[in-house]
Each structure stands twice: as C-alpha cells, then as structure tokens.
C-alpha cells in the first residue's frame, strides 16, 4: 500500500480546521446579528445625513427665502401714502400696465434688493384688487400688471449694474429705468387673459385667502408655497413663496413673492452625499392643509415642507 505524502497528511487536517473555523465564525456572525447591525449602522448614517439636509433646507426656506417682511412693510407704507395723497387709485391699479408703471418703477429697486439679500432665483409682484374666484370659475381671466425679475445664479457675485439679472415681466418704464436685459419671453404684463392662462396659484391662493380671512389674520399667516410651475412661454420650472399685499384699511392690491428654480433647489439636495455612486436620491414630500377652493379657511392652504427622505436603488 502506497503511503500518503507527509504534506497531504498535514494539509487535510489543516483544511478541515480552517473550514471548521469558518463555520464557527459564520454561526457567530449570524447568531449575534452582526450583518443586521452593519445594515442598521449604514441606515443610521443615511438617516443622519438626510436629517441634517432637511434641517439645512428648512433653515434656508424659513430664515432666508421667506424673509420678505421688510419689503412688504415698505411697499405697503408707500402704497398707503400714495392712496392717502390721492396719487394712486387702488381700485384701478390693476387695470393696465401703463396705470401701474409709476408705482412698479418706484418699488423695483426694493424687489431687486430683496432678491439679492434672500439669495433666491426670482422675485415678483403682481397687482390685483379683485376677488378672483368668479373669474377663475368662469375661466375668463384678466391680464394683470406686475414685476418679475430673475437671477439664474444667486450664489455668484452680484453685478453692481445688474448685468446678471433678467426681466420676465414689467412695464416698459421699468425696463428703461433699470436698464436690465429682458428675457426672450418678456412681456409688459402677466397675460392671463390674452394667453388664456389660469391664474398662478401663488397669485390666486394668497389673494383669496385675504378676501375670506378674518380681520385678525396677518399677511404672514397667509404665506403660500406653490406647486412647481412655469411662467407662460418658459421651460424653467420653479416653486414660489408669496404673501398678499394689503393697505392699512385691509384692501387687497396684489401679492409679492420669491421663486426658487427647481434646478437651484436640486443643487441644495446633492444626492452624492448619500451615495458616491450616484444611485441615491432625495425625495421631497409636501403637505397641504385646507381645501383648494376660496373659502374662510383658504388662508390655511400653505404648502409646507413635511419631510425629506432618501431613496437608494
């Protein structure tokens, strides 16, 4: 009988011992739930990053983008003074772009300053003294005068001559006075009636909220975050935050707000911080309270940031 080499005699027991140790290690890992622990730790890391990003975005929205108080108060004081002096008819302010041009020109610098300070991609003011409910229901829309300025890169250094800005909507007088370039879709007014475009919800919701709210409800309580939208003729998608403009006697004469381009919003939600391979993404969810029709509870129709979740796939 041929004898086995010494190497074989030693190797076979060693292999058996290695296999036994591997089995013991696997049993130990599964028995102590190490795989589950590793998975949970990874999940906790993702959740902490999502929570940090949510807090960061919420801070931007509340403390920076929504910071319109000073501008609202300044414009309301100006409007009150002009009405009291008989230099502005608030009921006819939205009849035409020409009627509104002097007032819009007077506040254009304030809007641009607010856009710079808040680091937003757009700022707007739409003049309207009417209850829009019947017009919306009958689909007989009316053109409205106003201003709409855009800054496609709010993080870059601002030009002292506003060469980095675009005008989306404004009377000719504002274009001449500001010397800001007009965008290719520029118009002298918001052409809801001319183009048969329904009123944007950032105009309609705060306006109707003001008409149906109780006297003690402040304009801050009627702030409104819109759904994503595009201006007529444009392809750039944005969300907007708007508040109503009211005289000291409570009469409504328009809305003022800011916009955040969706592309800019995406820059503030970098998915690669979740997964370097680029297979992860953030998911923004919103919650809307109240109903969608103009009513006594419309002032509660505020779209709020509810949560940010991460999806990996």
* Dihedral sign from CA coordinates of 70, 71, 74, 76: negative
Give a yes or no: residue 113 inside a domain. Answer: yes
- Spatial neighbors of 263 by CB under 8 A, at least 6 apart, are 236, 237
Give a yes or no: residue 109 inside a domain. Answer: yes
Give a yes or no: residue 168 inside a domain. Answer: yes
CB 180 within 8 A of CB 164: no
Give a yes or no: residue 15 inside a domain. Answer: no
- For residue 33, the model assigns a pLDDT of 60
CATH number of the domain at 255, please.
3.30.450.20
Domain span at 167: 69-265
Over residues 42-51, the pLDDT tens digits come to 677 777 878 8
Give a yes or no: residue 233 inside a domain. Answer: yes
Give residue 268's pLDDT band: very low, low, confident or very high (50, 70, 90).
confident
Distance CA 211, CA 296 (A): 8
Distance CA 269, CA 287 (A): 19
Q: Which ranges of the chain would DSSP assign to H, the alpha helix?
A: 6-32, 34-60, 69-84, 97-118, 133-138, 172-178, 201-212, 262-267
Over residues 103-156, the pLDDT tens digits come to 999 999 999 999 999 999 999 999 999 999 999 999 999 999 999 999 999 999
Give a yes or no: residue 173 inside a domain. Answer: yes
Give a yes or no: residue 19 inside a domain. Answer: no
Give residue 39's pLDDT band: very low, low, confident or very high (50, 70, 90).
low
| pTM, entire model | 0.80
Per the structure, the count of domains in the chain is: 1
Give a yes or no: residue 120 inside a domain. Answer: yes
Question: b/e per residue, 255-292, with b = 16+ CB within 10 A?
Answer: bbbbbbbeebbeeebebeebeeeeebebeeeeeeeeee
More reliable by pLDDT, 281 or 188: 188
- For residue 30, the model assigns a pLDDT of 65
């Amino acid at each position: 009988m041929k004898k086995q080499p010494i190497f074989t005699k030693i190797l076979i027991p060693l292999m058996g011992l290695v296999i036994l140790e591997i089995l013991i290690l696997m049993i130990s890992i599964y028995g102590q739930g190490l795989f589950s622990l590793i998975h949970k730790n990874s999940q906790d890391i993702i959740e902490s990053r999502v929570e940090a990003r949510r807090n960061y975005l919420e801070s931007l929205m509340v403390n920076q983008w929504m910071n319109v108080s000073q501008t609202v108060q300044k414009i309301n004081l100006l409007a009150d003074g002009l009405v009291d002096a008989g230099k502005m008819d608030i009921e006819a302010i939205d009849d035409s772009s020409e009627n509104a041009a002097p007032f819009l020109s007077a506040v254009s610098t304030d809007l641009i300053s607010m856009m710079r300070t808040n680091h937003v991609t757009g700022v707007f003011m739409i003049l309207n003294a009417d209850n829009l409910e019947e017009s919306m229901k009958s689909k007989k829309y009316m053109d409205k005068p106003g201003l709409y300025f855009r800054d496609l890169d709010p993080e870059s250094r601002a030009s002292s001559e506003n060469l980095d800005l675009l005008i989306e909507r404004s009377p000719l007088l504002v274009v001449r006075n500001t010397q800001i370039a007009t965008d290719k879709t520029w118009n002298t007014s918001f052409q809801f009636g001319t183009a048969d475009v329904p009123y944007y919800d950032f105009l309609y919701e705060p306006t109707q909220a003001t008409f149906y709210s109780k006297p003690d409800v402040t304009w801050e309580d009627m702030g409104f975050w819109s759904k994503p939208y595009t201006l007529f003729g444009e392809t750039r998608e944005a969300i907007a935050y708007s508040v109503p403009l009211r005289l000291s006697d409570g009469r409504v004469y328009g809305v003022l707000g800011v916009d955040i381009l969706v592309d800019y919003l995406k820059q503030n939600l970098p998915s690669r911080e979740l997964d370097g391979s680029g297979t992860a993404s953030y998911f923004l969810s919103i919650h809307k309270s109240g109903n969608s029709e103009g009513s006594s509870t419309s002032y509660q129709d505020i779209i709020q940031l509810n949560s940010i979740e991460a999806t990996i796939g």
